[in-house]
Amino acid sequence: MQVSEGNIPLDNGFNKSPLEFEEELKGGLVKIGIEHATVAISSKSKNTVFKYIEGLSSRLSISKRINEKFDNYLAFASKNTKGQLCYSQDKIIENRIFDHENLLIIQNNLNVYAMYEDLSYNYEITIIFHNIDTLETEALRQLELICEIIIAWANSWVAHHTMLLHWYRYSEQSSDSLPPILTKSEMGVLELLIKGLTGSEVAQIRHVSKETVRTQIKSILHKTQCRNQNQLISRFGQGQWLMNQPTRSIYT
């Protein structure tokens, strides 16, 4: 859906907090029958920098299974036409799913709606929704609108964190004593720490062991001459005033 500059309202009473914004979108998804949502932002090299996996109702518990097959879902969505909401039945989750509402095993495959789209700064977004009942035409229209909102949000998220990266480089150049340059992996860990993730959560997002993350954090602290993680976050998180929603992977 194309939105022209002249159609953008300058004041539409939109003053929701990020949490309120998220809860309203989740409520809209539940209203049209979506049971589970997955959102991922990845670089062109397929490095996932944002992962959101969450059940939206108590009816399905598939978050853990989706996380285990996460790369398969990214590959599946990337085969669809870019920018188009595509429907199919889920062939990735192998075992039968239990419907906690009706207390029975679902014999048929789950319905899955997926969208794959390019973002700014050479990033990509994958959006995947699961539900038991096939959506009607009006519900599909609402789902497409929600996808457009998520894509717009993702572009702002990418732009903000790209700005943080440039700010880090700018601050580093203006420093009297330049610390050694962090590796790409260390920069990825630093960005996640700034967003409030723990070492264990960083390990989950980056698909590495906790020991690997601990080693990387020690290296970052040494290179940046910070005494601890609190000082590190205080020093490099000062530019994070636009969006402070953490990367999340929720298993329910």
Question: Would you give per-residue pLDDT tens digits along the chain (252 residues)?
Answer: 444 444 445 455 556 677 788 889 999 999 999 999 999 999 888 888 899 999 998 888 999 999 999 999 999 999 989 999 999 999 998 778 888 887 888 877 899 999 999 999 999 999 999 999 899 999 999 999 999 999 999 999 899 888 887 877 776 655 544 456 788 888 889 888 888 888 898 999 999 999 999 999 999 888 888 888 888 877 776 544 333 333 443 333
Dist CA 70 CA 163 (whole Å): 28
3-state helix, strand, coil in the chain (%, to 5): 45, 15, 35
Around Cβ 44, how many Cβ atoms within 10 Å? 10
3-state secondary structure of 12: coil
The whole-number pLDDT of residue 99 equals 80
CATH homologous superfamily of 15-159: Transcription factor LuxR-like, autoinducer-binding domain (3.30.450.80)
Domain boundary assignment for the chain = 15-159, 161-236
161-236, what's its fold? Answer: Arc Repressor Mutant, subunit A (1.10.10)
Dist CA 59 CA 133 (whole Å): 12
Dist CA 240 CA 89 (whole Å): 40
Phi and psi, residue 179, nearest 5°: -75, 160
For the entire predicted model, the pTM comes to 0.66
